[in-house]
Structure 1
Amino acid sequence: MQDTEYHGRGGPLSVEDKRWWSPLLPAFLNAGRELGYKVIDPNGPEQTGFSVADMTQHGGERSGVSEGYLKRATQRPNLHVVSKAHVTKIIFDKNKRATGVRFLHRGKIRTVSARREVVLSAGAVGSPQLLMVSGVGPAEHLTQHNIPVIADVPGVGENLQDHPSIFGLTFTVKQGSGTDILQLANPVNVKDYIRNRRGPLTSPTAVEGNAWSVNESGEDDPQWPDLQYLFMSGTPFSDWGIYIVDVLGFRRDFFNEYFGSLLGSLGFNIGPMLTRPKSRGTIRLQSSDPQRPPLIDPNFLSHPDDVKTFVRGIKFVLAIGNTSSLRVDHEAKFHDKHLPGCERERYGTDDYWSCYTRQMAQTTYHPCCTLKMAPSSDPLAVVDHRLRMRAVSGVRVVDASIMPDIVSGNLNAPVIMVGEKAADIIKEDWGQGS
């Protein structure tokens, strides 16, 4: 890890350099150099360039908020953690003030009262759902589900944003260059991890490097990347479709038709991801029952600029794979089979890549912004600058839903920062000092 002013020391979370990488990672970085990009520190002063993926780890193990924060606080007499519980409602009095929460635990409904406030941290999907089943949200939508309206707040569940990405831009390589995901659990690698905390098991499912590029149209801030590229030494076919079918939900018949000829081959995948998407989605209820999942409509690619940016990103991926560092040194070859569903478009044209984008784009699991922080003049405002809900009292929201717009980086660290800042705000507001 570079020792610069951009890296903190001694905090509750640990960030480490990778402890293992495939032979393809140096080639990926060199490909960036061939294209005129710097190899950068992704947490440094600039983000446009190519980099090794930093890990939120300590000693080769995951460094998370449970270990970094919760474990330290478990002995506090004023902290009680109830696991395997499902909150079903925030309780409000006649003055629209939150007085507690109701939750289901071990088959029984229980109630906890709040003397000061309720802190809502159910995430960008769960927080708006809980507010709506509690009577806070768009009045017309609540009425449709026979939920008594406590407060008409049109912005609850609106403004859903995510980082859509494309998984499937795949290259094959020569033997000895790629990584077979299924080999990560072989006895040699398991032994190396158990004894030394080294080897491929220290690397999260093949993500080895990143790159960032800006919008070539020059319409936006050139210092703010529009696209992130996830470099993975594994491929959709090196694990025989386990990830792309069972995790991402692609149909098995589609997988067999498009990737079937490559089963068992080695290669790499580069996934472009929009860091500044313009499309906006919604969270809505399918029922007044808090245990039923809400309706999530990401509305991906509804803004035409998102498709255009993805097309530019796909072309950049092809340029990376065509560098001598990958094409010559590792015999990288793009899987150029015509995508099922795009047969009417001529291969390689912008129309074809637009069709490819609409067929292959997916979530990167970075939902946010569904209870946006905004001034009261904004019709979709839900919380103020102190994270307090505007239409009701006694509720403070502390999660990714409060973001007005999605950040261009991945959401793990920013959401933790929201929690850190919220803790300071709460202590200030209740006179607790630091």
Structure 2
Amino acid sequence: MDERPDEFDYVVVGGGSAGCVVASRLSEDPKVRVCLLEAGGEGRNVLIKAPLGFTVGMPRGINSWNYSTVPQSGFNGRRGFQPRGKALGGSSTINAMIYARGHRSDFDTWAELGNPGWGYDDVLPFFKRSECNAIHRDSPYHGVDGPLHVTNLRSPSPLNDVFLEACQSQGIPFNPDYNGEQHHGCYHVQVTQKDGERHSVAAAFIHPNLDRPNLDVRTKAHTTKVNFDGRRAVSVTYQRDGETRTVRARREIVMSAGAYGTPQILMASGVGPGAHLQSLGITPVLDVPGVGQNLQDHISALLIYRALVADGMVSITPKGIASLLKAMWTWRRHRTGLITSCAAESGVYYRTDPSVEVSDMEMELIVGIGDDHGRKIHYGPGYSAHLLLARPKSVGEVRLASPDTNVDPLIDPKYFSHPYDMETLVKGTQVALDIMNSPAFDRYRGDMLIRYDRDDPAQIERTLREHADTEYHPCGTAKMGPDSDPMAVVDAQLRVKGIDGLRVADASVMPCITSNNIHAPVIMIGERCAEFIEQSA
């Protein structure tokens, strides 16, 4: 990844799930020169390639920014954990690899909020463009020629069938393709893996194209600010190898630094809420009150069970450790076995009430004990279930702690600040307990590590305040919206309002969160942005 002359047609800040897509697509045109800046490394180490490696690396801050929130009143003063990917590929290098687009209504809502071209029928072709789906090759909802490989797990745990039986015993249907026509139901996960390895967005879009003479990828390059000539973005300043450098953009700069990095860099550059910037000694280039606002995230609860039988689970026991060592050998030789697990191997979209039109909860089965994001280790076999609130109404913010982007921003999701979130998550926990306590699990179910009383909503609420946390899906901090929305940061073509030559393409632009993992929608946003730029060139 050698550096070339420091002027390009396009500069992309952030090599994450959208930034890699933008840089790759723009550099398909040999007549334009593209520079991609990424603060982390090349995204090739074994903890990234080995699918189960994220359960070791992510809790320990490897390949991650390892953020925390400010103390949350909804969590009784606890700070929340906020891992975000810091490597080429961004959070696609540390996530559970689940490929989930969301419900049709998620995107139709974006369009209804004044963002033409973002309804489900508009964005479906861009989901398909990036996808090479090995499961549903004849489906009109899936692509088969894209760079990103999507498939089923190679060596799924037998516990998945138990979970799916439990869901169906509660009247929830099996859904063979939650990314297809129907979203509701229980399912086997679709994952971004290729040949038994994690297929990060970097592995799909960047690593195969590093030999393009018009694509310059710079890792370990920490962006400090965007520079302006009047109201036009003209260059980016970054730090690398102890030096401060600047790269110029002849046409456009694309911010793809994520839901925390993008607003942080914009504000440090003078684009954001004017009073907040001035309080830190930053001269505003443009007062944009919505930068850093509208932070949304999925709130997650965790049901953890000790297991009477250890079949198909990751466990910390002499036998379990021996199985892991054997699994490492199997993966190195054959790219099969336990190491190909994504941990969250099956799931269900469900409703807290039959009158709810669209599933308002999701639950994923974890084939191990995943206490406190894997940061607390427990001896013995077990399994868990992650519950997430599909459409939270609590809205938070990101603010600067310092003008220096080397200082972590102040992240305040304001979890449980809207009463709907606690009310719905309590109901969702009750339904989840019904599923996990069904006869299908009788052979496996031991004691719960964190106790929930199914019939005591007040006890469930107290427990959620002590143990709930992020499901790792922050978004919305530079939201897309019409001119009539004073808090909108970008327009429907992702251009920063009031600034020339500057777009945002990442989870920041989501006006409202999608109803499940945001990885696939962010890739779609990258595809969409690249086409907008190509059409305007």
> Could you say whether these structures have the same fold, taking a TM-score greater than 0.5 normalized by the shorter chain as the test?
yes
Tell me the distance in 2 between the aligned counterparts of 1:28 and 1:358: 26
1:58 aligns with 2:194: yes
Structure 1 residue 175, shift from structure 2 partner: 2.4
Correspondent of 1:245 among 376, 381, 385: 376
- Residue 332 of structure 1 is matched in structure 2 by 445
Q: Which amino acid aligns with 1:126?
A: G
The answer to whether the Cα contact below 8 Å between 1:178 and 1:268 also exists between their aligned partners in 2 is no
SS in 2 for 1:422: helix
The answer to whether the Cα contact below 8 Å between 2:172 and 2:186 also exists between their aligned partners in 1 is yes
Correspondent of 1:313 among 421, 425, 428: 428
Query: CA distance change for structure 1 residues 334 and 36 in 2, over 3 Å: closer, same or farther?
Result: farther
- Residue 128 of structure 1 is matched in structure 2 by 263
1:274-285 equivalent positions in 2, closer than 5 A: 274-285=389-400
Correspondent of 1:27 among 162, 168, 171: 162
In structure 1, the gaps of 5 or more residues are 247-262, 340-345
- Residue 328 of structure 2 is matched in structure 1 by 190
Of structures 1 and 2, the larger Rg is shown by 1
1:322 aligns with 2:437: yes
- Residue 279 of structure 2 is matched in structure 1 by 144
Correspondent of 2:346 among 209, 231, 239: 209
Q: Which amino acid aligns with 1:316?
A: V
The answer to whether the Cα contact below 8 Å between 1:321 and 1:334 also exists between their aligned partners in 2 is no
- Residue 107 of structure 1 is matched in structure 2 by 242
SS in 1 for 2:149: coil
Deviates more, 1:316-325 or 1:144-153: 316-325
1:282-361 equivalent positions in 2, closer than 5 A: 282-327=397-442, 330-335=443-448, 348-361=455-468
Correspondent of 1:81 among 217, 220, 235: 217
Query: CA distance change for structure 1 residues 210 and 172 in 2, over 3 Å: closer, same or farther?
Result: same
Which consecutive segments of 4 or more residues in structure 1 shift more than 4 A?
336-339
Larger RCO, structures 1/2 (Cα 8 Å, 6+ apart) = 2
In structure 2, the gaps of 5 or more residues are 1-134
- Residue 86 of structure 2 is matched in structure 1 by none
- Residue 249 of structure 1 is matched in structure 2 by none
TM, length-normalised to structure 2: 0.71
Tell me the distance in 1 between the aligned counterparts of 2:509 and 2:181: 26
Q: Which amino acid aligns with 2:374?
A: Y
Structure 1 residue 338, shift from structure 2 partner: 5.2
The answer to whether the Cα contact below 8 Å between 1:382 and 1:391 also exists between their aligned partners in 2 is no
Tell me the distance in 2 between the aligned counterparts of 1:112 and 1:413: 30
Q: Which amino acid aligns with 1:61?
A: E
Query: CA distance change for structure 1 residues 280 and 192 in 2, over 3 Å: closer, same or farther?
Result: same
Q: Deviations over 1:112-160 (max 9, x none)?
A: 1121111111111000000101111001100110100111100000000
SS in 2 for 1:124: helix
Tell me the distance in 2 between the aligned counterparts of 1:428 and 1:279: 36
Structure 1 residue 372, shift from structure 2 partner: 0.4
Structure 1 residue 348, shift from structure 2 partner: 4.2
Q: Which amino acid aligns with 2:368?
A: G
SS in 1 for 2:376: helix
- Residue 42 of structure 2 is matched in structure 1 by none
Structure 1 residue 22, shift from structure 2 partner: 2.4
Structure 1 residue 331, shift from structure 2 partner: 4.1
Q: Which amino acid aligns with 1:211?
A: V
Tell me the distance in 1 between the aligned counterparts of 2:408 and 2:354: 40
Structure 1 residue 355, shift from structure 2 partner: 1.2
Aligned residues: 397
1:235 aligns with 2:366: no
Tell me the distance in 1 between the aligned counterparts of 2:314 and 2:516: 28
1:271 aligns with 2:405: no
The answer to whether the Cα contact below 8 Å between 2:348 and 2:364 also exists between their aligned partners in 1 is yes
Q: Which amino acid aligns with 1:199?
A: G
Q: Deviations over 1:191-247 (max 9, x none)?
A: 22122211110012x2111111124173x5x1x32111011120147xxx891338x
Query: CA distance change for structure 1 residues 317 and 384 in 2, over 3 Å: closer, same or farther?
Result: same
The answer to whether the Cα contact below 8 Å between 1:178 and 1:267 also exists between their aligned partners in 2 is no
Tell me the distance in 2 between the aligned counterparts of 1:193 and 1:332: 29
The answer to whether the Cα contact below 8 Å between 2:481 and 2:488 also exists between their aligned partners in 1 is yes
The answer to whether the Cα contact below 8 Å between 1:227 and 1:272 also exists between their aligned partners in 2 is yes
SS in 2 for 1:308: helix
Q: State the identity %.
A: 39
